[in-house]
Structure 1
Amino acid sequence: MVAPPSLFRSLTLRYVLALALVGSLATTAFLFLHKVILRHENEAAVVNLSGRQRMLSQRITLAASLAMDSADPARRRFWLDELTAAASLMERSHEALTKGDPDLEIPADLAASIGPLYAARPDEVSRQVAEFLADARALAASDGPIDPADPAYQRILARSSQVLSGLDDVVSRYQAEVEQRVRTLEQLETGVWLVTLVVLTLEALFIFRPMTRRVQSLLQREAERREAAEQQSIDDQRRAETLVDTIADAVVTIDQDGLIRTFSPSAERMFGWSRTEMLGREVGDLMPDSYQRRHKDILRHYMGGGAPRVIGVGLEVEGRHRDGSTFPLELALGEWQSEGRRFFTAVMRDVTQRKALEESVRRAQKMEVVGQLAGGIAHDFNNLLGIISGNLEMLEERLKDNPALLKRVEVAQHAAARGADLTRKLLSFSGSRTSQPQTVDVNAVIRAGNDLLGRLQTAGIEVDLALEDGLPPVHIDPGEFEDALINLVLNARDAMPGGGTIVIATSVFQPEDASPEVVVSVADTGVGIDFADQKKIFEPFYSSKPPGKGTGLGLVTVDSFVRHSRGRITVYSAPGRGTTFRISLPALAATPTDAPGPVPGGTETLLIVDDEAELKALLCGQLESLGYRCLPAGDADAALAILEERRDIALVITDVIMPGTLDGVDLARRALQSRPGLKVLLMTGFAARSSDDLLRQVPSAGVIAKPYRRRDIAERIRALLDAPSPSPADAPL
């Protein structure tokens, strides 16, 4: 009796051997069956390819006949090309069947068994096919009309039936061999099925069962992965919704029917509609009436592929607020699909403020052009005023003993001063006027401009003055101060459409541990300024006035004047309670004004350069009356020639703007290059170049603005002549 352990080992060994045997048999049967199946597939390919040859031979015969019948050369060439293509395909198919072609699924071993069938007598199909193809190519090479008696054409017609018969014979013989192999397969079918059943049983026990467990594990992991992906998608959607809800631009999504599907909070603020009100409504409700019908047509044509593509292209359109008002929009569109439907997402931005800013810039550019024109006029006007004022000064000197005539000269001199003031305003308007701070009494400046301030009054508006006496002087540009005052009064007037009172007041303020200040205030009883707007009123181009009523530059000009004057400006206002602007300027210590002394003169030689002959002659006369010797020159070239000849010239007085290739600055630079110790005084009536700019180019020069009084230019000349000569390092390059 065999011991159980030995029996167990024996059974186990036998089971393993049997399993190995069955596995070997199953593997052998599978490999054999696999090879037979592959062979059968190849045989099917052979049958298909032989049928293809048969079809191509008929195609060649048909193309040859149609080419022969075609009188049109183009049509005949078309059928000959078709004949050539069919011949090439038939030749490749034949070579595949006799030599093998992997691309046509005919391996070389299969072709080796088929080839002899094509070469066997009595048909010798390979030879017939070769001759048939040669005749086809010979016929395709014909250039002219095809003669029905053409030998190649006749052989094609004759051999077509022979080729077809030969191909059919080969296929018949091959199919007989295939049927024999099929019968062999049927005999092996039972054994294959048995082996297959055994193999499948073994696979079920030892392969599929463990595999099923593994697949279940993989499916479980895949389900967990999908669940995590779905959660990630939900989180991404929430983040996208949060982004849409927080961006400043409005986001609206519509479907292919033009119905709103999403409506962001920014869109609610922009259009005045809530999300619940707009979802499901037509997007045309957000457009002006003139846009609605046009939008429907464009959307319909776009969906049909007829409208131009606008996706990804920035557009400027108009939107309609809930109250019916319209506003400009900048629009960008994106398209996407979901569940077979098309959707369009629009990102919109309200460009009302940008349009207003662009309009302000355009107005500013227009003002700049007008300002340049005004500056050019002022330059010429200053030259004329200089001639008038200078001659009047000479008359004053000679009419001291004739009070009646002297009074008339003083009237004319006052008119010239008013003309100079007008020129100053033109230069200020042009933005090219050089700042000229002076020690002034603000009360006197305000009273002097009271006539102009009175003209700013309209019906129902009064301008009152409350000026404190005994104010200390301040060091400011009186023209800039007057411009700032006018801007404040104009703003106050515009803030009182129903009428009111404007009060201009002055006072002295003494801060603790600081110097005293002169305070100028302009108060009105108008509509007031909102606290939020008070932070922006000094920004360029900001205006709370309706479009076209303000440039947004008035208070910017005021603020610029205050800063240049080292002062401060504050605003006190509340809606409905009026507005008060307070300008605080550093006060100077009051000094008694002494009577002016005599006009200073000298004996030096001066070179006077100006293209205005009258102004040049007048200046020479004024300076010669003070003891100077004057040499006149009409332009820079003449002045340089005189400088080369005369080494006794102590000072060159030149106008900045002159005709020719060299202006006054160029003359000064060349003169100082040749004579570094020379003194130069630049006269300017059009400060397209400011004083600071001129001094940067010619550091050692002096600058005086036109028109000037004789005393002003005499004192300036004397100061330059008495100053030490500049070092060679100061000479311009």
Structure 2
Amino acid sequence: MPADTKNTALLQAVFDAAVDAIIVADQAGIITSANAASSQVFGYSTEEMLGQNVTMLMPESEAVRHDDYMARYLETHERRVIGSGREVQGKRADGSVFPLYLSIGELEVEGKPTFVAILHDLTKRIEAQEALARAQRMEAFGQLTGGLSHDFNNLLTVIVGNLELLEMRLEGDAHQELIADALEAAEVGAEVTSRLLAFARRAVLTPESININKALNLKALKDLTGSLGPRHKLVSKLQLEVWKIAVDVTQLQTAVQNLIENARDAMPDGGTVNIETRNVEIDAAQAAQDVDLKPGRYVALSVTDAGNGMPNEVQRQVFDPFFTTKPRGKGVGLGMSMIYGFVKQSGGHITINSESDRGSTVTLYFPALPERADDAEAMPGPSPSIGHGELVMVVEDDDRVRRLTCERIQNLGFRVIEATSAQQAYDLLQTTPDIALVFTDILMPGAMSGYELAQRVRHDLPDMKILLTSGYAGELLHDARQRLEFPLLRKPYRQSDLATHLQALFPAR
């Protein structure tokens, strides 16, 4: 085989095997050759590109610059710098604009200039950069939020608890109304903190092994439908045999309610909100198409509307805390950020498919549990009579919270003993054999946390009842897929919440 023929065959093999798009065009910008990767990058077949001007692959702004350059070149033969790369915008067959890195070479073919463009799709790289930047923002935001929320939730616990004690002691409708308003305001404050922690993936979650359809039962869907109003309706399409997942049911229902309300707001003139569940198996090829998505079995939950949709610039910011497109007073911009953090902390993934004036579909992916995962046991409701004089050790370093907690527990029929640190509590256990329950905050001063105290007590005293509480658990509970081995009561909590947990530990006799 002659050398020229070998070289030509070699160049053709490189041309065909290249993973980047290679476009060859003449001096008029007409495409004379395009490799297979060009079709994957731009969405046109090779036949559709051949004979067309390269401006078909450019958005209008890039096409104008290209035409200006080619006009000057044909008139003056003044070349731009060849071989130097730069970032440009490309346009796919579906009209979408995306980033490219462009390098151009020039050669003479039969005495005429021919241009060879090598184009590398930057979409994945930019998505990865944005994901990294979002993760860094989230980490910084989480550190700030976590430090504040621990103290803030302790304050709210004191406020809510003392208001409830006043509610029991004061008589008169005027007093009751004032207390009810104050309690409602405190709960709103707790919800804001909860959403901030959820976004930062520092929420204290209590995951359960559930069937997602049962969590979105008829009553829950009816309640959600009630929030839509008369001009909207909710249509559900729930796959019958969905795999089980491990999620915090309360957070899941809150997330779905936020999505449905967002869908409602996107259709001000009315319309249908569709909610769907289905099993999904993501293979390696599919996972490679989306940053942070891993191969495996998932249960997907989608909420779809036919509303205004979201332009690209809104989609890029939609998960940022306090970002909202709603009018002042209609939202604080924490709904989508809370959903994002909750899904990520649950080991899942979230996607948005949306176009302006064509509606939106938000899909939450939750990892499926092994098929033999046990169902979580339902917690029984509180009984009017709970304690029978059993001794409860309250482990809490905040004096106000500890005093309040002791009074609340005594009101439920228990005796109490106090400890201000995990080490003091552990020492008291050695000298006080009649303690029946250790009720400890997770974050404690000193070398031993409340969680470490619980683990040591479980090891030394396997029959000891243990109840944890926290408004922020730091790095302890980052992965919601790991089921906590101790019951957990989240701060701030109502007296009824405390009663429910104690009832589960001390069933009525």
TM-score (norm: length of structure 1) = 0.44
Residue 482 of structure 1 pairs with residue 254 of structure 2: yes
Task: Note the C-alpha offset of 1:360.
Answer: 4.6
Name the counterpart of 2:489. Answer: 704
Name the counterpart of 2:377. Answer: none
1:398 to 158, 169, 175: 169
Structure having the larger proportion of residues in helix: 1
Supply the AA of the counterpart residue of 1:717.
Answer: L
Larger radius of gyration: 1
1:558-569 paired onto structure 2 within 5 Å: none
Name the counterpart of 1:7. Answer: none
Name the counterpart of 1:602. Answer: 388
Name the counterpart of 1:726. Answer: none
Name the counterpart of 2:401. Answer: 615
In structure 1, C-alpha distance between the alignment counterparts of 2:318 and 2:161, rounded to whole Å: 41
Distance 1:275 1:352, change over 3 A: farther
1:446 to 200, 220, 224: 224
In structure 1, C-alpha distance between the alignment counterparts of 2:446 and 2:318, rounded to whole Å: 40
Q: Which runs of 5+ in 2 are unaligned?
A: 55-62, 209-214, 237-246, 276-300, 320-335, 347-351, 365-379
CA offsets, 1:209-246, max 9 Å, x none?
xxxxxxxxxxxxxxxxxxxx23x964773574366257
Name the counterpart of 2:270. Answer: 501
Distance 1:695 1:233, change over 3 A: closer
User: Contact (CA 8 Å) 2:207, 2:481: kept in 1 or not?
Assistant: no
Name the counterpart of 1:412. Answer: 182
CA offsets, 1:362-419, max 9 Å, x none?
23542453345344443333222221222222223323x5444334333333333333
Residue 546 of structure 1 pairs with residue 332 of structure 2: no
Task: Note the C-alpha offset of 1:436.
Answer: 6.6
1:264-663 paired onto structure 2 within 5 Å: 264-265=34-35, 274=50, 296=79, 298=81, 316-318=86-88, 328-330=99-101, 347-352=118-123, 354-399=125-170, 402-433=172-203, 434-435=205-206, 441-442=219-220, 445-446=223-224, 450=227, 464=232, 477-490=249-262, 493=265, 500-503=269-272, 524-526=305-307, 545-550=311-316, 597-663=383-449
In structure 1, C-alpha distance between the alignment counterparts of 2:478 and 2:135, rounded to whole Å: 24
In structure 1, C-alpha distance between the alignment counterparts of 2:97 and 2:506, rounded to whole Å: 69
Distance 1:435 1:267, change over 3 A: same
Task: Note the C-alpha offset of 1:355.
Answer: 2.1
Task: Note the C-alpha offset of 1:447.
Answer: 7.5
Task: Note the C-alpha offset of 1:706.
Answer: 1.5
Task: Note the C-alpha offset of 1:317.
Answer: 3.4
Partner SS for 1:547? helix
Distance 1:444 1:623, change over 3 A: farther
Q: Which runs of 5+ in 1 are unaligned?
A: 1-228, 279-283, 300-309, 455-461, 469-474, 507-519, 529-543, 565-570, 584-593, 724-733
User: Contact (CA 8 Å) 1:463, 1:502: kept in 2 or not?
Assistant: yes
1:212-231 paired onto structure 2 within 5 Å: 229-230=1-2
In structure 2, C-alpha distance between the alignment counterparts of 1:696 and 1:273, rounded to whole Å: 52
Supply the AA of the counterpart residue of 1:442.
Answer: A
CA offsets, 1:263-300, max 9 Å, x none?
4256698599755867xxxxx9986979999x95755x
In structure 1, C-alpha distance between the alignment counterparts of 2:130 and 2:363, rounded to whole Å: 31
User: Contact (CA 8 Å) 1:691, 1:703: kept in 2 or not?
Assistant: no
In structure 2, C-alpha distance between the alignment counterparts of 1:326 and 1:679, rounded to whole Å: 60
Distance 1:290 1:718, change over 3 A: farther
User: Contact (CA 8 Å) 2:439, 2:468: kept in 1 or not?
Assistant: yes
1:115-194 paired onto structure 2 within 5 Å: none
In structure 2, C-alpha distance between the alignment counterparts of 1:376 and 1:680, rounded to whole Å: 25
User: Contact (CA 8 Å) 1:252, 1:345: kept in 2 or not?
Assistant: yes
User: Contact (CA 8 Å) 2:443, 2:449: kept in 1 or not?
Assistant: yes
Task: Note the C-alpha offset of 1:685.
Answer: 1.0
Supply the AA of the counterpart residue of 1:415.
Answer: A
User: Contact (CA 8 Å) 2:470, 2:489: kept in 1 or not?
Assistant: yes
Task: Note the C-alpha offset of 1:704.
Answer: 1.6
Name the counterpart of 1:36. Answer: none
Q: Which has the higher contact order (CA 8 A, sep 6+)?
A: 2
2:8 to 213, 216, 237: 237
Supply the AA of the counterpart residue of 2:180.
Answer: E
Distance 1:436 1:402, change over 3 A: farther
User: Contact (CA 8 Å) 2:32, 2:50: kept in 1 or not?
Assistant: no
Distance 1:463 1:370, change over 3 A: farther
In structure 2, C-alpha distance between the alignment counterparts of 1:695 and 1:250, rounded to whole Å: 42
Distance 1:333 1:556, change over 3 A: farther
1:667 to 425, 428, 453: 453
Supply the AA of the counterpart residue of 2:435.
Answer: I
User: Contact (CA 8 Å) 1:681, 1:702: kept in 2 or not?
Assistant: yes
Distance 1:690 1:264, change over 3 A: same
User: Contact (CA 8 Å) 1:286, 1:320: kept in 2 or not?
Assistant: no
In structure 1, C-alpha distance between the alignment counterparts of 2:156 and 2:337, rounded to whole Å: 32
Aligned sequence identity (%):
29
In structure 1, C-alpha distance between the alignment counterparts of 2:483 and 2:101, rounded to whole Å: 47
Task: Note the C-alpha offset of 1:665.
Answer: 1.2
Task: Note the C-alpha offset of 1:337.
Answer: 12
Partner SS for 2:397? coil
Task: Note the C-alpha offset of 1:657.
Answer: 1.1
Task: Note the C-alpha offset of 1:618.
Answer: 0.5
Supply the AA of the counterpart residue of 2:178.
Answer: R
User: Contact (CA 8 Å) 1:609, 1:635: kept in 2 or not?
Assistant: yes
1:713 to 487, 498, 505: 498
Partner SS for 1:660? coil
Task: Note the C-alpha offset of 1:431.
Answer: 2.9
User: Contact (CA 8 Å) 1:607, 1:649: kept in 2 or not?
Assistant: yes
Supply the AA of the counterpart residue of 1:709.
Answer: R
User: Contact (CA 8 Å) 1:244, 1:251: kept in 2 or not?
Assistant: yes
Partner SS for 2:194? helix
Task: Note the C-alpha offset of 1:683.
Answer: 0.6
CA offsets, 1:673-717, max 9 Å, x none?
444433221112114467796996973x33221122223323423
Distance 1:328 1:426, change over 3 A: closer
In structure 1, C-alpha distance between the alignment counterparts of 2:223 and 2:390, rounded to whole Å: 38
Structure having the larger proportion of residues in strand: 2
In structure 1, C-alpha distance between the alignment counterparts of 2:498 and 2:270, rounded to whole Å: 44
In structure 2, C-alpha distance between the alignment counterparts of 1:317 and 1:390, rounded to whole Å: 59
Supply the AA of the counterpart residue of 1:619.
Answer: T
Partner SS for 2:427? helix
Partner SS for 2:163? helix
User: Contact (CA 8 Å) 2:198, 2:338: kept in 1 or not?
Assistant: no
Task: Note the C-alpha offset of 1:481.
Answer: 2.2
CA offsets, 1:522-560, max 9 Å, x none?
7744478xxxxxxxxxxxxxxx731354457669959x9
Distance 1:550 1:348, change over 3 A: closer
User: Contact (CA 8 Å) 1:252, 1:260: kept in 2 or not?
Assistant: no
Supply the AA of the counterpart residue of 2:270.
Answer: T
In structure 2, C-alpha distance between the alignment counterparts of 1:618 and 1:574, rounded to whole Å: 52
In structure 2, C-alpha distance between the alignment counterparts of 1:385 and 1:719, rounded to whole Å: 25
In structure 1, C-alpha distance between the alignment counterparts of 2:138 and 2:500, rounded to whole Å: 37
CA offsets, 1:125-163, max 9 Å, x none?
xxxxxxxxxxxxxxxxxxxxxxxxxxxxxxxxxxxxxxx
